Amino acid sequence: MTTTENSPPADADLLASGVAWNLDSLVDGRGSDGVSALMREAEQIVGRLVEYRGRIAQLDAVQLAEAMVLLGEMNDRLGRAGSFVSLRFSVDTSDPELGAAMQKFQEQATSLSTQVIFLELEWAEVDEASATRLLREPVLEFCRYYLESARRYRPHLLTEAEETLLAEKDITGSSAWSRLFDELTSAIVIDLPDGAVSLEQGLSRLGSPSHDERRSAAEAVTAGLEPGLRTRAFVFNTLMADKSTDDRFRNYDSWVASRNLANQASDSSVQALVDAVVDRYDIPQRWYRLKAQLLGVDRLADYDRNASIAEVEEEFSWSQATEIVLDSYGSFSPELADVVRTFIDEKWIDAPIRPGKRPGAFCAYTVPSAHPFLLLNWTSRRRDVLTLAHELGHGLHAYLAREQGIFHQGTPLTLAETASVFGETVTFGRLLADTTDPAARLALLAESLEGQIATVFRQVAMNRFENAVHTHRRNIGELSIDDFGDAWEATQRAMLGDAVEITPGYRSWWSYIPHFIGSPGYVYAYAYGQLLALAVYAAYEQRGDSFVPSYLEMLRAGGSRSPEELGRIVGVDLADPRFWDGGLAIIDRQLAAAEQAARDAGRI
């Protein structure tokens, strides 16, 4: 690449060095003073809301709408302030000032939110006939589904005094433990032969074509996890015990029931998903046996699973990646490509790896009056290009759903992955179409298939790990490091079968996964979303351009309807018990395509 006056140096472009977000819009460019101003406004709104205490059951539709407008305005102020402090903290968790600012916000926000807990509790106590009548009124359309959904929690709500106590104690309880875990994992250093790197960079080395480099990286990751392993195990144990107490008081009959309720999914439907995926563990095992052939080994080790089968690992600069993703989204919808360009040009993305930066990638929806932000940890791999496309899918969903307002912008986790996986699949299709060399096509197909396995099968295996450790914590007691290792090894071995050797060091690799800590029960939603997105993409392949308007309608609808209603917009029936098998069959066909590509490339 030739550097011009207006383009970044080659190294900077490869590392996405200058791709940092600008958070000023969240606080009108006033920094910490802007946070304080938003908190004062929220406090004033709360003062008006408390005047409704004891009156919710007597309100007519217009009065209830007025109260809900105020609640939305409070959530907007808290959302802007909270997004600003948390996003600043996420890029440097080692900065004590940023940590203190986030803690201060959480304490202030909790103090304000607990003062309006009565709204949810009194609304839950409104008799069914009255609630039904109110929800038919057009004036409540902007929050109708939110109010309707809130009543699902009626059997699990406590008294106002109890709810207030739990909310206040959460600051020094589960939220504090989650923050500690984030700080501990962000500080992990992996000592590689060519120098010390972050955990994220160490894990990325597992994609190396070199077996020795993969083994060395795996050993270094295990060594890097070791110093704080006992502390992270204690954090996990404590949070599981805390959740068990909450579930007992709230009358949830299983460790995952509250998550299912939040996802608007029945316990039986989630179990059906898990069972369907477990029943097809033959898919990843079949792939890993094929991959062993491609790598020229008798059997893969756990650290070989993400190995590139390409002879040379291709690197992608930031400008190359954004061009690919823009072209991919543009091939589907010029409107979506325009929004993607806005994310890039307006500095809504933070991409480079930095010391203290939170691992992984995410999209922060913020609030409808602002716009989403994306966090990445760019390592210049093809996988990063697809991750960019994935997170932009989340961003597009959030951006288009802003018109639904603060109560209906977000979706349940089970639908939250639809746009992201769809965007990633479109981008993969673009990459594949531009790849004619048989060996390169095989490498690309392999990478996509491994993404499917990681998102569907690995996430369900991790769900089985969570099920094992939460059950152990509730029925037996605190888990030792060996107990965690046993559960991790058993649930991973069930998925991998005899196709992959599990090395002793891999037994501790459960200990850096943030979802187990901050979002218990979350991971199955990835499998749900992946299989749903595959069904949506199959509909696009069948219908072509005529599918685009209905897809955009679904994105714009946000969470204003039930999951079943949203699925029907794009012709997907989530109530069909055969739904999961259809998505799994698509992955099976992709595996068959990879097997054929291997033969075409003369690799088997």
Dump pLDDT digits (tens) for 435-445.
888 888 888 88
- Number of neighbours of residue 157 by Cβ within 10 angstroms: 17
- Please give the model's pTM, rounded to 2 decimal places: 0.81
State yes or no: pLDDT of 4 exceeds 80.
no
Helices 579-600 and 267-278: angle between axes, nearest 10 degrees? 20
Quote the strand ranges of 148-188, DSSP E: none
- pLDDT(154) > 80: yes
67: DSSP letter: H
User: What is the model's pLDDT at position 2?
Assistant: 40
Residue 6 pLDDT > 60, yes or no? no
* Domains in the chain: boundaries: 24-162
Q: Is the pLDDT reported for residue 7 higher than 60? A: no
pLDDT digits (tens, 9 = 90+) for 397-422: 999 999 999 999 999 888 888 899 89
52-101: pLDDT as tens digits:
999 999 999 999 999 999 999 999 999 999 999 999 999 999 999 999 99
How is residue 206 annotated by DSSP?
Answer: G
Q: What is the pLDDT of residues 484-498, one digit of tens each?
A: 999 999 999 999 999
| Residue 379: other Cβ atoms inside 10 A | 23
Which helix H or strand E contains 313, and what residues bound it?
none
Q: Which amino acid is at 52?
A: Y
- Percent pLDDT > 90 in the chain is 77
Q: Which pLDDT band holds residue 1 (cuts at 50, 70, 90)?
A: very low
| Cα gap 525→531, rounded to integer Å | 10
Decide if domain 24-162 falls under CATH 2.60.40.1220. no
Asked if 111 contacts 170 with a C-beta cutoff of 8 angstroms, the reply is: no
Q: Which residues pair with 197 in a beta bridge?
A: 190
Here the tokens at position 285 are: 């095992």
Quote the radius of gyration of the chain (alpha carbons, Å).
Answer: 24
Calculate the average pLDDT of the chain: 93
Q: Which residue has the tokens 């109010």?
A: 147
Residues near 578 by beta carbon (within 8 Å), at least 6 away in sequence = none
Distance between CA atoms of residues 539 and 160, nearest Å: 47
User: φ and ψ at 252, to 5 degrees?
Assistant: -90, 135
What is the arithmetic mean of pLDDT over 567-594? 87
Helix (H, G, I), strand (E, B) or coil at 500: strand
pLDDT over 80 at 8, yes or no: no
Pairing state of beta strands 362-364 and 373-378?
A: antiparallel
Distance CA 121, CA 117 (A): 7
